[in-house]
Amino acid sequence: MKILRNYILREFWGPLLLCLGVLTFLMVLIGNLKRIADLVINKGVDIFSVLQIFIYLTPYIVTYTLPISILVAVLLALGRLSGDNEIIAIRSSGINLLKLITPLLVIGLAFSLGLAYFNDQAASQAHFAYRKTLKEMGIKNPTAAFEEGVFIDSFSKYVLFIYHVDQKRNRLNNIRIYEPQGEDRPTRTIVAKAGEFITLPDKNTIKLKLIDGTSDEPDPENPTNFYKLNFRTYFMNLDIAQMQEKVVDKKYKEMTIRELRAAALKLQKEGITPAPLFTEIHEKLALAFSCLVFMLLGASLGIITRRREKTINIGIAVLIIVCYYPLFIGCEALAIQEYLPAALALWIPNIIFGGTGIFLTYKLCAS
């Protein structure tokens, strides 16, 4: 039995590691390709910082790719054994199928328990570190935090609106700078056709050179009024200390289960129903235990289909995935909107697919 167990596990580990590596890489790359390209090409962020982003994103992506990889691997492993009639030979020798797949189920349970801890700690902290890294990029290279066509209030005293940003040349076009003066006082406005940034990191300052524009200047006789001043070049300093002082708050997905429970308790004391927090707790756990569910379902389907062809087994895996995850998202929405308790809603997909796997396994073992 030990030889047979090791033989099945060898068939399983190879596809698992290959599928996990390929899927994780593709999901990190494809899911964030636009943002990464924008950071490198348009905003001048160095490639090492981009690699750091990749590293921080990977644990969160593994939350989804590991269960999928387990499903594909067990379908391929047992599908090949079944297609080559090795399952029939094993059963003919008097070995019960439950004993055959028990090592795989133990591995599925171990993965689920490990992924539950991984989701709670590593994935949450890594995603939070990813967002903090993006903020730090904005401090080291302030233009990386700028977007065209939006109001930028990252600088003390000033609000900027830039129509076009050329990150490669550190050049700005069509700039408007607003300096609010307080209640009942007009806002000072500076308009320029172009501008250039000169970063002074030691002084926490950006020196902004404005070209060809107008500036509102206080009237010496009546400081509450302004007069227009035309200029060819105009220099001003932007303080980036405010950018550094801004604290990156954790989102729910970046909190550990302990932090989520503490936040939920605080909201309950204030008379607020913390449904999104409970939803996040059960989402972390339910996604983790999808490893065991997919292992159970995949093992039974791999034996039943008796298909050696990899494409058919991968097709079965895709069918399960496109049914499971939309159902999971729908149940998550029901929990957030309080139509169902989170403790029930988030576990419905696992109950359905796990129950199907148990039923199929029972039929196989009983036949």
| Res 309: pLDDT | 67
| Res 144: pLDDT | 55
User: Which comes out higher in pLDDT, residue 208 or 307?
Assistant: 208
Tell me, yes or no, if the pTM score tops 0.85.
no
Residues 324 and 349 sit within 8 Å (Cβ to Cβ): yes
Measured over the CA atoms of residue 356, residue 86, residue 109 and residue 62, the dihedral's sign is negative
The pLDDT confidence band at residue 291, using thresholds 50, 70 and 90, is very high
| Res 151: pLDDT | 66
| Res 136: pLDDT | 66
DSSP letter assigned to residue 251: P
- CA-CA distance, 89 to 101, in Å (whole number)? 15
Which percentage of the chain shows pLDDT scores above 70? Answer: 84
The pLDDT confidence band at residue 71, using thresholds 50, 70 and 90, is very high
Give the best-scoring range by mean pLDDT among 4-8, 152-156, 242-246, 333-337: 333-337
Tell whether the model's pLDDT for residue 69 goes beyond 60. yes
Mean pLDDT of 8-32: 89
The pLDDT confidence band at residue 140, using thresholds 50, 70 and 90, is low
For the chain, domain boundaries: 2-140+252-366, 155-245
| Res 92: pLDDT | 75
Residue by residue, DSSP assigns 299-358 as HHHHHHH----HHHHHHHHHHHHHHHHHHHHHHHHHHHTTSS-HHHHTTHHHHHHHHHHH
- CA-CA distance, 304 to 364, in Å (whole number)? 8
142 φ/ψ angles, rounded to the nearest 5 degrees: -55, -30
Mean pLDDT of 11-39: 85
Mean pLDDT of 14-37: 85
Tell whether the model's pLDDT for residue 146 goes beyond 70. no
The residues pairing with 200 across neighbouring beta strands, listed in sequence order, are: 205
The interaxial angle of helices 310-336 and 275-305, nearest 10 deg, is 160
CB neighbours of residue 247 within 10 Å: 7
The mean-pLDDT minimum among 61-75, 172-186, 342-356 falls in: 172-186
Average pLDDT, the chain: 84
For 148-201, what is each residue's pLDDT tens digit?
Answer: 766 677 777 788 888 887 766 678 888 988 888 776 677 788 999 998 877 776
Tell whether the model's pLDDT for residue 220 goes beyond 70. no
The closest of 70, 95, 107 to 2, measured between CA atoms, is 95
DSSP letter assigned to residue 249: P
- CA-CA distance, 240 to 202, in Å (whole number)? 11
Tell whether the model's pLDDT for residue 312 goes beyond 90. no
**Helix, strand and coil in the chain, % to nearest 5:** 65, 20, 15
| Res 327: pLDDT | 97
| Res 38: pLDDT | 67
Give the best-scoring range by mean pLDDT among 65-69, 86-90, 268-272: 65-69
Residue count of the chain: 367
User: Which comes out higher in pLDDT, residue 239 or 317?
Assistant: 317
The closest of 88, 197, 89, 81 to 141, measured between CA atoms, is 197
The pLDDT confidence band at residue 296, using thresholds 50, 70 and 90, is very high
| Res 242: pLDDT | 57
The pLDDT confidence band at residue 332, using thresholds 50, 70 and 90, is very high
Tell whether the model's pLDDT for residue 50 goes beyond 90. no
Mean pLDDT of 21-32: 86
Residues 113 and 224 sit within 8 Å (Cβ to Cβ): no
| Res 135: pLDDT | 66
| Res 138: pLDDT | 57
For 68, counting Cβ atoms within 10 Å of its Cβ (0-12 exposed, 13-18 middle, 19+ buried), the class is buried
| Res 62: pLDDT | 95
Encoded tokens for 78: 């047992």
Mean pLDDT of 275-279: 91
Give the best-scoring range by mean pLDDT among 79-88, 118-127, 247-256: 118-127
